[in-house]
């Protein structure tokens, strides 16, 4: 997500804001900007595409001696509209300069309403509509807080707003729903930020806004309101150091991003499930024109492609192939205009995936499922659907993977609906709404998983087993473990264990087996569990089924996740495997976020 910093007080607000944004750089961004009030009470704006250094250079050239008494700054991770100076925040409308983290789901309708009233837009962002709304209410004579309250009532989605009203340049207007804002309380100064690290150099006393809060912040006072009534928010003392704060208090970015999946899963669906239907207007392909799908990707994204195959074949009834991009690009794939080629990639910069899509483009329509707005892949394909997971810092992909699964499931449902071959769309959509809370319940197993990690972290080999839609999750669990703990691990279809891998099994080899309740092959999977246990294998079961005690007694550990429909079980079964890999790696003392020999994005062949 983006970074927000605002300051009012006796220090140079420009310097505080820019230094604060530098402390949030780890969050990933593609442009930056500041709005600031100089001592003559004038509001100025500076924005630049690219890294903060571009903004600093711009400021140095134009404002090197400027002392600002108030300032708001933003580093943007593009969600609506490509990375550019015009799309960078703050956005200005009349007397309002506004920055925003989050997604405004109804910005299209708000934008057309404002255009009809003569508003002029200069960006492709959803944020700009909020600046216009606030300005409209202020120019109608509402007080700043009343105008902010009205603005928040019109906006649907997630937001952290920080704004300056040029008629009241001694205060910041802030509002929050579903996207964090924290206020640091200083002596004669206040600092507002999306994240603690920007605040720590100034104060450890903070107040955290709750969903639905709005507030007015001057250098000496914060006035909180909720549902139009004044409220108090308690002050808490931050005990983290700066490095820990960057990880939101977690020891590693990977653990933070595993926990982030609770919010990332709702962000992936945000704005896409409206009432009775699915809304993915940005894809703009005629789904009924395809009679075949080929999916190309690498690593974890390839595992998402294997799950997507189940979705497209069982929901959209379209034959689907999945190919490693590094293989696809060098074989002579048979494609035609009725084939849809889908590339799945978190970074959108993976060389093999880019090479594969170049091949596909020659004869097929192409679609990217990607997390990085404006990345190379998204500029090559005919259409893109973004997974909206926010920046993923750790090399091991976690929230990017589960949001890929949710995104391709939405695509399959949309195609099944367009081809009139799937009647349970609304049932699956209803189930999808439960995913964030189900992920939260899955994560509650962390203590038990940490204990299991102690039992297996010295193993030389670990086998992961899964059937059907969860076979790719066995592959993903194995990849997670090997790439961060350096323990050799393999994933197999449970039914394959007896065709060779069983020879590997003895008391030194832990076997992690996924048992999904509504998998009509549950009984066969339980037989596979018995086969392993009978040969001394140490079984860890990951299941949403209520296993009989007799089966549980065969296991070294049983990790229970909530039951959810089969299409969504891969999302939930992945969580314990991510946590298991993480805790094993921590026990083995590896560099969890930057494993040896690996890169976050493999931009070379």
Give me the least distance between CB of 483 and ligand AGP, in Å please.
6
Q: Is the peptide bond before 145 cis (omega within 30 degrees of 0)?
A: no
8 A C-beta contact, residue 100 and residue 123: no
- Residues 427-486 binding ligand AGP (CB under 6 A) are 483
Give me the least distance between CB of 212 and ligand AGP, in Å please.
36
- Reference 184, options 145, 238, 240; nearest CA is 238
Give me the least distance between CB of 403 and ligand AGP, in Å please.
11
Segment near ligand AGP (CB under 6 A), from 103-111, 158-166, 292-300, 432-440?
292-300
- Residues 574-603 binding ligand AGP (CB under 6 A) are 601-602
- Of 2, 152, 298, 555, which is the active-site residue? 2
Kindly tell me which residue out of 131, 301, 356, 526 binds ligand AGP, with binding defined by CB under 6 A.
301
Q: In Å, how far are 260, 400, 456, 604 from 595, measured between CA atoms?
A: 20, 18, 19, 18
Q: Does 396 bind ligand AGP (CB under 6 A)?
A: yes
CA distance 61 to 59: 5
Compute the chain's Rg from CA coordinates.
25
Q: Based on CB atoms, which residue is closest to ligand AGP, 152 or 301?
A: 301
Give me the least distance between CB of 366 and ligand AGP, in Å please.
15
Q: Does 49 bind ligand AGP (CB under 6 A)?
A: no
CA distance 590 to 485: 6
Give me the least distance between CB of 512 and ligand AGP, in Å please.
17
Kindly tell me which residue out of 84, 158, 261, 300 binds ligand AGP, with binding defined by CB under 6 A.
300
Q: Catalytic site residue 152? A: no
Q: Catalytic site residue 2? A: yes
Residue whose beta carbon is closest to ligand AGP? 299
Count, residues near ligand AGP per rule CB under 6 A = 15
> Looking up tokens 């299941």, which residue turns up?
543
Cβ-defined contacts of 243-249 (< 8 Å, 24+): 245/195, 245/196, 245/197, 245/200, 246/23, 246/26, 246/195, 246/197, 248/195, 248/196
Kindly tell me which residue out of 20, 184, 299, 390 binds ligand AGP, with binding defined by CB under 6 A.
299
And the tokens for 87? 């799309």
Q: Based on CB atoms, which residue is closest to ligand AGP, 196 or 396?
A: 396
* Mask for 477-496, x = binds ligand AGP (CB under 6 A): ------x-------------
Kindly tell me which residue out of 8, 222, 298, 539 binds ligand AGP, with binding defined by CB under 6 A.
298
Beta-carbon count within 10 A of 433 CB = 11
Q: Based on CB atoms, which residue is closest to ligand AGP, 481 or 497?
A: 481
- Of 317, 482, 517, 600, which is the active-site residue? 600
Q: Based on CB atoms, which residue is closest to ligand AGP, 180 or 299?
A: 299
Q: Does 395 bind ligand AGP (CB under 6 A)?
A: yes
- Residues 341-360 binding ligand AGP (CB under 6 A) are 345-347, 350, 353
- Reference 18, options 68, 61, 77; nearest CA is 68
Which residues have CB under 8 Å from 318's CB, separation 6+?
Answer: 290, 291, 292, 293, 312, 415, 419
CA 302, 303, 304, 305: dihedral to nearest 10 degrees?
50
Q: Based on CB atoms, which residue is closest to ligand AGP, 557 or 576?
A: 576
DSSP state of 197: G
Segment near ligand AGP (CB under 6 A), from 207-215, 244-252, 354-362, 392-400?
392-400
Give me the least distance between CB of 472 and ligand AGP, in Å please.
13
CA distance 143 to 242: 37
Provide φ and ψ at 547, rounded to 5°: -65, 145
Q: In Å, how far are 52, 188, 206 from 169, measured between CA atoms?
A: 25, 16, 23
Q: Based on CB atoms, which residue is closest to ligand AGP, 164 or 592?
A: 592
* Burial class of residue 156, CB neighbours in 10 A (0-12, 13-18, 19+): middle
Q: Which residues are catalytic?
A: 2, 600
Residues of the shown chain interacting with ligand AGP in the complex, contacts defined by CB under 6 A: 298-301, 345-347, 350, 353, 395-397, 483, 601-602
């Amino acid at each position: 997500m983006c970074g927000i910093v605002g300051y009012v007080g006796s220090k140079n607000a420009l310097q505080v804001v820019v230094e604060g944004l530098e402390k949030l750089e780890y969050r990933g961004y593609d442009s930056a900007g500041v709005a600031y009030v100089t001592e003559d009470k004038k509001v100025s704006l500076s924005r630049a595409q690219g890294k903060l250094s571009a903004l600093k250079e711009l400021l140095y050239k134009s404002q090197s001696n400027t002392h600002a008494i108030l300032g708001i700054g933003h580093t943007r991770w593009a969600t609506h509209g490509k990375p550019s100076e015009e799309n960078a925040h703050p956005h200005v409308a009349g007397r309002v300069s506004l920055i925003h983290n989050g997604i405004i789901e109804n910005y299209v309708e708000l934008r057309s309403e404002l255009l009809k009233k003569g508003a002029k837009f200069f960006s492709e962002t959803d944020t700009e509509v909020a600046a216009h709304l606030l300005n409209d209410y202020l120019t109608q004579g509402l007080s700043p807080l009343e105008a902010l309250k009205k603005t928040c009532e019109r906006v649907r989605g997630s937001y952290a707003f920080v704004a300056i009203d040029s008629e009241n340049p001694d205060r910041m207007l802030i509002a929050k729903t579903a996207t964090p804002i924290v206020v640091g309380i200083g002596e004669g100064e206040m600092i507002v930020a999306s994240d603690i690290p920007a605040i720590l150099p100034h104060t450890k006393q903070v107040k955290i806004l709750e969903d639905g809060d709005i507030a007015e912040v001057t250098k000496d006072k914060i006035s909180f309101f909720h549902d139009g009534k004044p409220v108090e928010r308690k002050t808490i003392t931050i005990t983290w150091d700066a490095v820990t704060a960057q990880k939101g208090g977690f020891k590693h970015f990977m653990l933070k991003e595993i926990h982030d999946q609770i919010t990332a899963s709702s962000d992936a669906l945000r704005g896409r499930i409206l009432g009775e239907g699915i809304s993915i207007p940005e894809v703009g392909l005629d789904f009924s024109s395809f009679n075949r799908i080929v999916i190309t990707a690498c690593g974890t994204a390839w595992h998402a492609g294997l799950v997507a195959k189940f979705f497209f074949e069982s929901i959209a009834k379209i034959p689907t192939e999945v190919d490693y991009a590094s293989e696809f690009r060098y074989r002579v794939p048979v494609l035609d205009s009725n084939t849809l080629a889908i590339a799945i990639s978190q970074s959108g910069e993976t060389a093999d995936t880019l090479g594969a899509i170049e091949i596909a483009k020659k004869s097929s329509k192409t679609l990217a499922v990607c997390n990085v707005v404006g990345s190379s892949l998204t500029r090559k394909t005919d259409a893109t659907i973004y997974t909206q997971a926010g920046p993923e810092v750790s090399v091991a992909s976690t929230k990017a993977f589960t949001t890929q699964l949710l995104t391709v499931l939405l695509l399959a449902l949309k195609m099944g609906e367009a081809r009139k071959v799937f009647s349970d769309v609304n049932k699956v959509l209803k189930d999808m709404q439960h995913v964030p809370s189900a992920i939260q319940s899955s994560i509650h197993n962390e203590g038990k998983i940490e204990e299991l990690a102690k039992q297996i972290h010295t193993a030389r080999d670990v086998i992961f087993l899964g059937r059907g839609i969860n076979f790719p999750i066995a592959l993903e669990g194995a990849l997670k473990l090997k790439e961060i703990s350096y323990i050799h691990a393999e994933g197999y279809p449970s039914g394959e264990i007896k065709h060779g891998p069983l020879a590997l099994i003895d008391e030194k080899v832990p076997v992690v087996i996924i048992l999904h309740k509504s998998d009509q092959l549950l009984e066969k999977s339980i037989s596979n569990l018995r086969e392993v246990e009978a040969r001394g294998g140490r079984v860890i079961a990951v299941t949403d089924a209520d296993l009989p005690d007799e089966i549980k007694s065969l296991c070294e550990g049983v990790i229970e996740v909530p039951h959810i429909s089969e299409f969504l079980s891969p999302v939930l079964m992945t969580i314990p495997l991510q946590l298991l890999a993480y805790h094993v790696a921590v026990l083995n003392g590896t560099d969890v976020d930057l494993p040896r020999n690996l890169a976050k994005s493999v931009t070379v062949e």
